C-alpha cells in the first residue's frame, strides 16, 4: 500500500461520524491501518461497511472518558496491527448548554469528562506506547475556535476546548524529546451531524454569513489538515493549535462587514483622524 501514511497505524476516536469518519477515510486512502474508537456501535458498523477497507480497519467500542476503554483501544491497535503511530483524540459532544446559573454539576462534569479527560487519557496511553516503541509518533486532538473566545459555543464547551488547546501546548514540550509531535486542530463551523443537531438550516446560514469563505467547512477540510499534521510534511510542527475555519476567527468582530458589501471594499482613501483635515475617499470597483 502506498501513500503518505503507508505502514502507519492510526487510532481515531469519534471515527464513526463527522470529521472523525472523514479522517479515517483519508488516512485509509493514504495507506494507513486504522482503529476507530467510538461509543456509537451502530454508526461504527455503518462506517466500517461503507468504507469497506477489509482488515485495514478495526473498531473498538470505546467511551473516551473511561481509562480502561482507552487502554483497550490503544491495545487493539498494537495487538492487531503491531504498533501505533498516530492518535487522533477527536470524539466529542456539544455538552452542557444554557445559562451558567442553570447548569448542573453533573452536566458540567460529563462535558469535561468527554472533552478533556478523554483527550488527557488518549495522550497518556498513546504517548506511553509511542515512547516504548522509541520511534516517535503523532498525537492530534480536536479543539475548536469555541476555545478561543466566548462567542462560538456553550460555556462548558468553550472552557473544555480551551483546555484541550493548552494541554496540547504543555504536552508537546514534554514529549518532544521522544520525537512525539502533539498538535490540535481548531475547527470552525463544520458540516457534521453534531453541528446540525437541532436547527440545521438556520445554523448553516448563520455560520456561512460569519465565515469569509462563505461556506461551512466539510469533514474533508479537517481530514486534510489531520493528514498534513500526521504525515512527515508536519515533521517540524508541534505544540500548535491549527485553526481551520474559513477565516472566521481572523475576521474577528466584523464591525464593518466583509466581502463585496463592506465599506472597506467599496471605498478607498485615507482617514486623517482628528487633525482637522477631511477624510479623502474615492469609490472603487468591487
- Contact call for residue 184 and ligand NAD (CB under 6 A): no
110 belongs to the catalytic site: no
Distance CA 151, CA 158 (A): 9
Instruction: Pick the stretch among 33-41, 48-56, 98-106, 247-255 that binds ligand NAD (CB under 6 A).
Output: 33-41
Residues 117-156 that bind ligand NAD (CB under 6 A): 142, 144
**Closest distance to ligand NAD from the beta carbon of 80 (Å):** 19
Nearest to ligand NAD of 165, 171 (CB atom): 165
- Contact call for residue 193 and ligand NAD (CB under 6 A): yes
Nearest to ligand NAD of 33, 39 (CB atom): 39
- Contact call for residue 93 and ligand NAD (CB under 6 A): yes
4: CB partners within 8 A, 6+ apart: 30, 31, 227, 231, 232, 233
Pairs from 170-179 (Cβ < 8 Å, separation ≥ 24): 171/123, 171/127, 171/139, 172/238, 172/239, 172/240, 173/239, 175/127, 175/130, 175/131, 175/139, 176/238, 176/239, 178/127, 178/130, 178/131, 178/134, 178/136, 178/137, 179/135, 179/136, 179/137
**Closest distance to ligand NAD from the beta carbon of 46 (Å):** 10
Site map (CB under 6 A) of ligand NAD, residues 39-78, x = contact: xx--x------------------xxxx-------------
Interface residue with ligand NAD, options 20, 127, 234, 246 (CB under 6 A): 20
Interface residue with ligand NAD, options 27, 81, 88, 195 (CB under 6 A): 195
255: CB partners within 8 A, 6+ apart: none
With cell 474508537, the residue in question is 37
Query: How many alpha carbons lie under 13 Å from residue 52 in its C-beta half-sphere?
Result: 1
Instruction: Pick the stretch among 74-82, 172-180, 182-190, 276-284 that binds ligand NAD (CB under 6 A).
Output: 182-190
- Contact call for residue 13 and ligand NAD (CB under 6 A): yes
- Closest to 121 measured CA to CA, from 156, 84, 73, 81: 73
Active-site residues, by number, are 157
The residue ranges that bind ligand NAD (CB under 6 A) are 13-14, 16-20, 38-40, 43, 62-65, 90-93, 114, 142, 144, 187, 189-190, 192-195
Amino acid at each position: 500500500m502506498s501513500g503518505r501514511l503507508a505502514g502507519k497505524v492510526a487510532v481515531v476516536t469519534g471515527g464513526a461520524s463527522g470529521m472523525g469518519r472523514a479522517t479515517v477515510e483519508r488516512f485509509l486512502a493514504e495507506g494507513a491501518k486504522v482503529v476507530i474508537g467510538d461509543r456509537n456501535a451502530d454508526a461504527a458498523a455503518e462506517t466500517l461497511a461503507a468504507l469497506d477497507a477489509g482488515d485495514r480497519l478495526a473498531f473498538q467500542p470505546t467511551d473516551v472518558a473511561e481509562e480502561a476503554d482507552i487502554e483497550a483501544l490503544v491495545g487493539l491497535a498494537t495487538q492487531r496491527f503491531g504498533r501505533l503511530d498516530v492518535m487522533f483524540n477527536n470524539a466529542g459532544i456539544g455538552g452542557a448548554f444554557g445559562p451558567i446559573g442553570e447548569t448542573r454539576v453533573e452536566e458540567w462534569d460529563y462535558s469535561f469528562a468527554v472533552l478533556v479527560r478523554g483527550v488527557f487519557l488518549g495522550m497518556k496511553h498513546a504517548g506511553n506506547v509511542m515512547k516504548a516503541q522509541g520511534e516517535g509518533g503523532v498525537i492530534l486532538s480536536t479543539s475548536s475556535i469555541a476555545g478561543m473566545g466566548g462567542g462560538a459555543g456553550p460555556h462548558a464547551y468553550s472552557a473544555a476546548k480551551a483546555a484541550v488547546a493548552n494541554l496540547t501546548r504543555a504536552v508537546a514540550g514534554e514529549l518532544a524529546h521522544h520525537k512525539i509531535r502533539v498538535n490540535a486542530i481548531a475547527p470552525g463551523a463544520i458540516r457534521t451531524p453534531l453541528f446540525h443537531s437541532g436547527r440545521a438550516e438556520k445554523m448553516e446560514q448563520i455560520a456561512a454569513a460569519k465565515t469569509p469563505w462563505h461556506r461551512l467547512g466539510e469533514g474533508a477540510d479537517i481530514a486534510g489538515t489531520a493528514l498534513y499534521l500526521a504525515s512527515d510534511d508536519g515533521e517540524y510542527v508541534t505544540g500548535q493549535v491549527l485553526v481551520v475555519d474559513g477565516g472566521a476567527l481572523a475576521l474577528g468582530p466584523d464591525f464593518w462587514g466583509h466581502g463585496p458589501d463592506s465599506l472597506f471594499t467599496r471605498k478607498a482613501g485615507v482617514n486623517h483622524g482628528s487633525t482637522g483635515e477631511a477624510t479623502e475617499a474615492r469609490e472603487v470597483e468591487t
